[in-house]
Amino acid sequence: MRRLITSILIAGIFALLGGFAVITTGVYDVAATAPHRPITRWVIETARIRSIKAHAAAIQVPPGFDDPANIPMGVEHFAAHCAVCHGAPGVPRGDIARGLYPPPPDLAKAAPFYSAAELFWIVKNGIKMTGMPAWSDHSDAELWATVAFVRKLPAMSEQEYARLVMANMAHGAQHLHGSEEGWPAPTPSDGHPHH
């Protein structure tokens, strides 16, 4: 029994030294062009999914967040901040997304894996050690509208997306001419510069 415990301890010390050597000698390749080994991928993906679920558990979904009236705000936000990396129906990802590792997923495919609260948590907080930024400087109203829009992506055609974006651009033009008719009023908590 003693010998067994000693052997386990010695094996443990060697494993620690080995890990320390990998970290300090520089053999680990941090290049975005060197894909993860399956074990590393498993560790990162499991940690990410468990972390998102645990952290989003306490988030209260505001009733009516996916009201059709919020979709214009959601599409505006998505087209301006998300499509460059994630693409959109009929819109390929931008240049910046091509060199990212891990690559930004197509949200029409990825969104159904998450609840509304989880999507909100991801968008508000971002994901460490990936290209996914936190958008915590945006108002919660904008982020919930973006979540509502993202949840519509799986069923959205290119034509529908194009129509929504065009309607928004027309809204922007109206905005310049001082007409707000038919569009939801900006939320009072909306303090960030691009509005």
Residue 172: CB minimum distance to ligand HEC, A: 18
Q: Whole-angstrom Cα distance, residue 74 to residue 123?
A: 12
Residue 53 within binding range of ligand HEC, rule CB under 6 A: no
Among the listed residues 48, 53, 55, 171, the single contact to ligand HEC using CB under 6 A: 48
Residue 88: CB minimum distance to ligand HEC, A: 11
Q: Whole-angstrom Cα distance, residue 81 to residue 28?
A: 33
Residue 80: CB minimum distance to ligand HEC, A: 8
Residue among 159, 168, 157 at smallest CA distance from 78: 168
Determine the interface stretch with ligand HEC among 3-11, 56-64, 80-88, 166-174 (rule: CB under 6 A).
Answer: 80-88
Among the listed residues 51, 61, 91, 102, the single contact to ligand HEC using CB under 6 A: 102
Q: Mark 120-159 with x for binding to ligand HEC (rule: CB under 6 A) and - for no binding.
A: --xx---x--xxxx-x----------x---x---------
Residue 73 within binding range of ligand HEC, rule CB under 6 A: no
| Encoded amino acid at 139, one letter | S
Q: Whole-angstrom Cα distance, residue 180 to residue 188?
A: 16
CA atoms within 13 A on the CB side of 24: 6
Residue 91 within binding range of ligand HEC, rule CB under 6 A: no
Residue 105 within binding range of ligand HEC, rule CB under 6 A: yes
- Asked whether the beta carbons of 118 and 52 are under 8 A apart, the reply is yes
Q: Whole-angstrom Cα distance, residue 143 to residue 148?
A: 9
Instruction: Give the distance from CA 91 to its chain's centroid.
Output: 18
- Asked whether the beta carbons of 75 and 118 are under 8 A apart, the reply is no
Residues that bind ligand HEC (CB under 6 A): 48, 81-82, 84-86, 96, 100, 102, 104-105, 107, 110, 119, 122-123, 127, 130-133, 135, 146, 150
